[in-house]
Amino acid sequence: MIPTQPLRTFLTLVLLCAAAVLAAAAPVLAQARPTLPPDSPFAGGVPDGTAAGEPLSLTVFDVIDRALRHNLGVLLSEQGTERASSVRAAALAELLPNVTASASASRRTNNLEAFGFPLSSSPFGALLPRVVGPFTVYDARVFLSQTIFDLNAINDARAEGHNLSAARHSYRSARDFVVLVAANAYLQVVAANARAVSARAQLETAEALHRQAESLRSSGIVAGIDVIRAEVRVATDRQRVIVAENDLQKSKLQLARVIGLPIGQAFTLSEDVPAVPTPDITFEEALERAYKQRPDYLAALERVRAAESARRAVLGSGLPSVKVNADYGSIGLTWGAALPTFNLTGEIAVPIFEGGRLQARLAEADAALRERRAEAEDLRTEVYYDVRSAFLDLQSTEEALKTAARARDLAMLQLTQSRDRFAAGVASNIEVVQSQEAVALASEQYINAQYGFNLAKAMLARSLGSAEDAVKRLLGSGNNR
């Protein structure tokens, strides 16, 4: 028969080594996760309606759809697009005909000498009045103003057109980002719920082992210290349940705010994230796609073009401009006696001296252009690092998930064997408590690995652009509605 004490010591060392291996695996799962500052508009949402009495059942697609409609960051970005459209319309108005109409009736008196009639020195001055009136003048007229050539206005309109395109790309980028934020919040709730379920299961196991220890002590098989140790373990696992439940509720509150649920609305997640294969795409293909469709990068390029057009507009302000002004209408002392009149004026404006304003505006435009180009180059580099990081995270989290799944299975097997040995009286429940801790650690690592793997897929979709469609596809298009 194998001596009990040496065997017990050996198994204790094995359990400690297993726990150390599981703890060492934790840094492998570290990855960049989307974080929002407290004052970020993407962390908030505009509630819609009032809370219903029954809890809502939400899928991942419901969460993303609600976020796209009610998230504050998306709504503000949409307003930014509308403002850019209004500014562009105002710039175009400088190139389009400007037509106004007016009708007036005025009662007046006129000093004829003020109009060039020297009545006081004229031999007829005594015969003619120096002031005529009062009389009424009626005038109805249409005015037209049209820019024929103004390089400043032309390039201003082009610049605002590029700014509008940049705003539209920024709106797409905001929608992509809020998809990632909503998916991440959903995954956090799923992970928090898994931790709560795992904590409750571990508490049930600890309570069963406590009852088993009391029964074995009553039979005289184990000492009273084993019961105390089991009771301490129950208290520890009960505390873990409290913490896990609190984290779950806080994660649900964060998700509810991001997607703009009515205040106080209860909800449940009707399904877990579907298991999907790793996207089949090479790094080179992903990088090329990102440069072509990342909306934030495309917006940066449009801002460069807008800055270039703005610089040309400054140069154009130093060149001649051509305009035509015209009016047509009827004027007379009565409406019935009014006669048609018109005026047509062609105008050429040539800037000659502006006191250095042109040079100052040009220097300002050059500085703005250099800034936009630097931002675009920086964002191009950021796209590369985002795609590279997403691929690295995808590969590492996939391997970590496999390792965590195997470690969890081994920890469960270890706990089963430890319980059997304790029940047989060949070991104390030190091994059981250590096995319980190993199961808790392995379960936590598995939940983190599963969350990290799903998040890595969402981050890859975000790094490529078009996350609004890609995330839904990667998370299972079969349920898309």
187 falls within a domain: yes
99 falls within a domain: no
Q: Are residues 76 and 62 in the same domain?
A: yes
- State the residue for tokens 């508490």: 203
Q: Is the pLDDT of residue 202 over 80?
A: yes
How high is the pLDDT of residue 275? 59
Q: Is the pLDDT of residue 176 over 80?
A: yes
- Report the predicted TM-score, pTM, of the whole model to 2 decimal places: 0.77
166 falls within a domain: yes
How high is the pLDDT of residue 8? 41
379 falls within a domain: yes
Round to whole Å and give the CA distance between 400 and 448.
9
HEC per residue, 34-80: CCCCCCCHHHCECCCCCCCCCCEEECHHHHHHHHHHHEHHHHHHHHH
Q: Are residues 55 and 125 in the same domain?
A: no
Q: Are residues 169 and 112 in the same domain?
A: no
Average pLDDT of the residues in 459-470: 77
pLDDT greater at residue 131 or residue 38? 131
Mean pLDDT, the chain, whole residue set: 83
Round to whole Å and give the CA distance between 109 and 119.
16
- Phi and psi angles of residue 102, each rounded to the nearest 5 degrees, phi first: -150, 155
How high is the pLDDT of residue 116? 76
Q: Are residues 63 and 113 in the same domain?
A: no
98 falls within a domain: no
Round to whole Å and give the CA distance between 471 and 90.
38
Counting residues of the chain whose pLDDT is more than 90, the rounded percentage is 35
Counting residues of the chain whose pLDDT is more than 70, the rounded percentage is 85
Round to whole Å and give the CA distance between 144 and 328.
9
Q: Are residues 28 and 145 in the same domain?
A: no
How high is the pLDDT of residue 277? 60
Per-residue CA distances from 89 to 49, 78, 159, 161, 202 (Å): 35, 17, 12, 9, 64
Query: 431: domain CATH number?
Result: 1.20.1600.10
- Lowest-confidence pick of 28-42, 189-203, 371-385: 28-42
How high is the pLDDT of residue 16? 36
pLDDT tens digits, one per residue of 203-221? 888 888 888 888 888 877 7
269 falls within a domain: yes
pLDDT tens digits, one per residue of 32-88? 556 677 778 888 889 887 888 888 888 888 888 899 999 999 999 999 999 999 999
Other CB atoms closer than 10 Å to residue 47's CB: what's the count? Answer: 17
How high is the pLDDT of residue 246? 95
Q: Is the pLDDT of residue 23 over 80?
A: no
CA torsion angle 347 350 353 354 (round to 10): 70
Q: Is the pLDDT of residue 20 over 80?
A: no
Q: Is the pLDDT of residue 479 over 60?
A: no
Other CB atoms closer than 10 Å to residue 13's CB: what's the count? Answer: 10
Structure confidence at residue 3 as a pLDDT band (50, 70, 90): very low
Q: Are residues 414 and 434 in the same domain?
A: yes
Q: Are residues 333 and 451 in the same domain?
A: no
Contact in structure between 29 and 400 (CB atoms under 8 Å): yes
Instruction: Kindly provide the b/e burial profile for residues 376-414, where b requires at least 16 CB atoms within 10 angstroms of the residue's own CB.
Output: beebeeebeebbebbbebbebbbebbebbeebbebbeeb
| Residue in 276, 255, 123 with CA at minimum distance from that of residue 187 | 255
411 falls within a domain: yes
Per the rule left: phi > 0, alpha: psi between -120 and 50, beta: everything else, 131 is beta
Per-residue CA distances from 139 to 95, 99, 144, 413 (Å): 28, 17, 16, 100
Average pLDDT of the residues in 118-126: 66
How high is the pLDDT of residue 5? 43
Average pLDDT of the residues in 23-29: 39
pLDDT tens digits, one per residue of 314-367? 998 888 999 999 999 999 888 888 899 999 999 998 988 877 888 999 999 999
Q: Are residues 268 and 206 in the same domain?
A: yes
Average pLDDT of the residues in 240-247: 94
- Lowest-confidence pick of 72-76, 103-107, 475-479: 475-479
Q: Is the pLDDT of residue 423 over 70?
A: yes
Q: Are residues 111 and 230 in the same domain?
A: no
Q: Is the pLDDT of residue 273 over 70?
A: no
Number of folded domains that form the chain: 2
Residue ranges making up the domain that contains 432: 4-93+152-318+356-479
Structure confidence at residue 474 as a pLDDT band (50, 70, 90): low
Q: Is the pLDDT of residue 123 over 70?
A: no
Q: Are residues 344 and 455 in the same domain?
A: no
Q: Are residues 214 and 168 in the same domain?
A: yes
Round to whole Å and give the CA distance between 243 and 480.
34
How high is the pLDDT of residue 468? 76
Round to whole Å and give the CA distance between 379 and 272.
34
435 falls within a domain: yes
How high is the pLDDT of residue 300? 95
Q: Are residues 10 and 30 in the same domain?
A: yes
Average pLDDT of the residues in 441-453: 84
Average pLDDT of the residues in 190-200: 87
Average pLDDT of the residues in 189-198: 86
Q: Is the pLDDT of residue 164 over 70?
A: yes
